[in-house]
Amino acid sequence: MKNYKNFKRFLLISFMAGISTFAFQECTIDNQKADIYQNILKFTDGIKVINTHEHQRRPDEFGFDSVSFYHLLGQTYLFHDVVSSGLQQLNIQTSGINDVYKLWEQYGGPLDYSRATSYYGHFVKGFQKLYDFTDLSFTETNILHLSDQILVNYSNYSSWFDSAYNKAGFELMFLDQYWNPFNSQVDTEHYALVFHINQLVMEVNTRPASGETPHSIYKEASEEGFAMDEFDDYLNYCDHLFNTYLARKAVCVKNSLAYSRSLKYEEVSYETARSLFEKPSASLSRVESETLQNFIFHWIINKSIEYDLPIQIHTGYLAGNSNYLENSNPLDLDNLFVKYPEAKFVLFHGGYPWTSEFVAMGKMFPNVYLDLVWLPQISREKAVLALDEMLDCVPYNKFFWGGDCAFIEESTGSLEFAKSVVAETLSKRIERGHLTEDVAFDIAKRIFRENAIEVFKLEEKLGREF
Ligand SMILES: [Zn+2]
């Protein structure tokens, strides 16, 4: 009996020891995982980032005299979630921008419903990095405090932008000025020029009838003294624009036409395009207009090959609160990838929600590159899965990252989000024994910096060392 009692005690002690050993091992493994993630995150903090896509604007370009939290909110992606939650679309600039209590009354509820979204999360991250902001959510009170700081920072915008840019870890941003597409002069200390080509394609069929005042691209051409009577005149002016941008050290071409039409660009003969151009623009059917546009985009691809400019293309999710998502399916670009092996096509945004299609294109075509730009803000969790699938399928010398934001707080938050996506994806691979830390560091460097320098030939184009 006594032996039996001792035996029971022995079993109990062994069991307890087993539990504590198991708990200790679990705890150690958790700590190791956290260390791997933190090591990669720390490594990414040391990378001087080449950001392949931004829309940074000065406050005066928005027409702001001073800037508060609500001014910024009105320009964020987050505001689209606020509208999506059911808030009636309001013009934040005219609804009493200085009445912060009234604004919280209007926006606070819808804003709270978005507290779990990536649009919200990355916006918070920007303030955590650049301001003394430690909360996870915006409240009526902390917004007041933030607004005071924003007001002071934006009272000297250039100095604030420069210090935030450096604190965030940027070395260069590619600037796509879709709101001012013919402006080829940019602040070259922070930006590399992008040639936004939407107008060349979409406005070809806005040719003024005789006696009509030219507008859009025809107005630009007439102001520069270019005749636009013949189809070749039009192409000649487009070539002139290419040369203007090249002279100002443009690093790539950008097409975001999925916001306006399908990504399907069928082949069109020169004769067909010329005869459509010669018809009065107002008489062209939608199909005829698109046919003419298709020719122009093919012409632009040929010029981009001639001038050695990679072509960035918006694919997938469309910002805002109403559009035709099916226009942005990356599969529609397939014929271009086959036809132009010498071009460099850079697909944007993970093609969300067609992320596997996006990855498959990068895998199949040597002339297709994959940019994670904006995907971490659309869905952070999807970005983790997408990067994992990209690493599974595609050599990592073809990946880039960009922010895609209108002001520095949001770009900073988007970089913080992207770093966490890269660290999470890579650390899981290390934990599984599929990757060494050295290779993980190489991948991170490539995504945030080196691929952009190499593929866009930044040293050669910008005439400086990176
Ligand atoms: Zn963009």
Query: Which pLDDT score, from 0 to 100, does residue 107 have?
Result: 85
Return all residues near 143 (Cβ < 8 A) that are at least 6 apart.
69, 70, 100, 104
The secondary structure element, H or E, covering residue 245 is helix 231-247
Query: Which pLDDT score, from 0 to 100, does residue 106 have?
Result: 83
Ligand 1 centroid to Cα of residue 365, in Å, is 23
Ligand 1 centroid to Cα of residue 174, in Å, is 10
Among 110, 117, 113, 119, which residue's Cα sits nearest to residue 87? 110
- How far apart (Å, rounded) are the C-alpha atoms in residues 210 and 19? 88
**Max Cα separation, the chain?**
115
Residues near ion ligand 1 (CB < 5 Å) are 404
Return all residues near 153 (Cβ < 8 A) that are at least 6 apart.
160, 164
- How far apart (Å, rounded) are the C-alpha atoms in residues 419 and 204? 41
DSSP 8-state symbol, 373: T
Which parts of the chain sit beneath pLDDT 50? 1-2
Query: Which pLDDT score, from 0 to 100, does residue 167 have?
Result: 98
Q: β-strand 311-313 against 191-196: which pairing, if any?
A: unpaired
Query: Which pLDDT score, from 0 to 100, does residue 210 have?
Result: 87
Ligand 1 centroid to Cα of residue 38, in Å, is 30
Query: Which amino acid is located at 51 in the chain?
Result: N
Q: Looking at 257-349, which runs of residues are DSSP E strands? A: 311-313, 345-347
Ligand 1 centroid to Cα of residue 14, in Å, is 61
- How far apart (Å, rounded) are the C-alpha atoms in residues 270 and 258? 24
- How far apart (Å, rounded) are the C-alpha atoms in residues 120 and 378? 10
Query: Which pLDDT score, from 0 to 100, does residue 34 have?
Result: 83
- How far apart (Å, rounded) are the C-alpha atoms in residues 131 and 28? 34
Query: Which pLDDT score, from 0 to 100, does residue 137 have?
Result: 96
Query: Which amino acid is located at 99 in the chain?
Result: D
pTM: 0.92
Among 150, 74, 82, which residue's Cα sits nearest to residue 110? 82
Query: Which amino acid is located at 53 in the chain?
Result: H
Query: Which pLDDT score, from 0 to 100, does residue 1 have?
Result: 45
